[in-house]
Amino acid sequence: MNSLITGINGFVGQHLASHLSDCGDNVWGTCISRQPATADKLAWDISQPATPSLIDALKEFSPDVIYHLAAISHPGSCGDDLPTDTCQAVNILGTRHVAELALALPSAPKVVFVSSSKVYGSRTAEHPLAAESDPPQPKGGYAHSKWAAENVLRDRICEGLQVLIVRAFNHTGPGQSPIYLVPEWCRKVASGVSPQKVRSLTTSLDLSDVRDVVRIYRLLVEKDVWGETFNVGSGTAVTTADIWNVLCEISGNAIEAVAEKPEPAQQPIADVNKLKDAIGELTRLTLKQTLADVYRSVTPA
């Protein structure tokens, strides 16, 4: 299978490229700049339409599937209410450009779009699960941009575009930027300095290993479930206190954490029944293994 990844140099993109290669796929990717400069990485700022030279190169490669990952993925960079201009240009308009690229290629590759659990909005402790059939309630610029991008793709189905939407829940793994919670906390715990300020120890969330997430993306492609939307999460809740305590155990440092927000918060937990029906049960990495691998990547010996 010929697979194209937009945002191949990103955190998830690198893990996906490695997994697809292990599966025997021929993998190309796009990124804003060709670093490192290799023949299978093409420069493309997706806020702009694909250039004729890019289209010609991809005609030669003839991708079967486009995994559309490229996006501004940090919610704090996308606007508190509605998407910022930059977020709109990359996350929404960029998705339209990916659809136009797919339809411009002779083979019309299928598109896997990585959306977000943020489209569901908030949940309560009494009703934490989010199912694909639930009405979207996006809050914040990032969530609105992902919901809008989903609809951009759905609008092109009538033109022959085949789309699979995966709503990714929280995930982490080796190589994740320290602007995200787990690698940031790895650094705090590894410092040996106590106490440490953290935002919350009472948030409940759904956390997966990125290596499991990319496996699921590929498995869904194999199952030929185009036109569907799937939650990609663990289906299990963990608290931020659980994460902190496991990191302290891994590091051997008993670091006290002082939370800025003591009140409980509930993020959506994935209802994974539809996912299990499609791909079956999946043996996943444990939370401790995931956190240990992130800790080692952030604090090398």
pLDDT tens for residues 144-201?
999 999 999 999 999 999 999 999 999 999 999 999 999 999 999 999 999 999 999 9
Which tens digit of pLDDT belongs to each residue from 224-268?
899 999 999 999 999 999 999 999 999 999 999 999 999 999 999
Q: Could you tell me if residue 279 is inside a domain? A: yes
Q: Domain tally for the chain? A: 1
Distances (CA, A) of 74 to 143, 145, 178: 11, 12, 11
* Local confidence band at 36 (pLDDT 50, 70, 90 cut-offs): low
In this prediction the pTM is 0.96
Average pLDDT on 33-55 reads: 85
Q: Could you tell me if residue 289 is inside a domain? A: no
Q: Could you tell me if residue 86 is inside a domain? A: yes
Q: Could you tell me if residue 106 is inside a domain? A: yes
The whole domain housing 91 covers 2-173+207-234+269-284
Average pLDDT on 76-92 reads: 95
Identity of residue 70: A
What are the tokens at 135?
């009405």
Distance between CA atoms of 120 and 134, rounded to whole angstroms?
Answer: 7
Contacts of 259 (CB under 8 A, 6+ apart): 198, 199, 200, 201, 202
Q: Could you tell me if residue 244 is inside a domain? A: no
Q: Could you tell me if residue 217 is inside a domain? A: yes
Q: Could you tell me if residue 240 is inside a domain? A: no
Q: What is the dihedral of CA 74, 201, 147, 42, to 10 degrees?
A: 30
* Local confidence band at 269 (pLDDT 50, 70, 90 cut-offs): very high
| pLDDT (0 to 100) of residue 299 | 86
**Whether the Cβ atoms of residue 190 and residue 253 lie closer than 8 Å to each other:** yes
Q: Could you tell me if residue 84 is inside a domain? A: yes
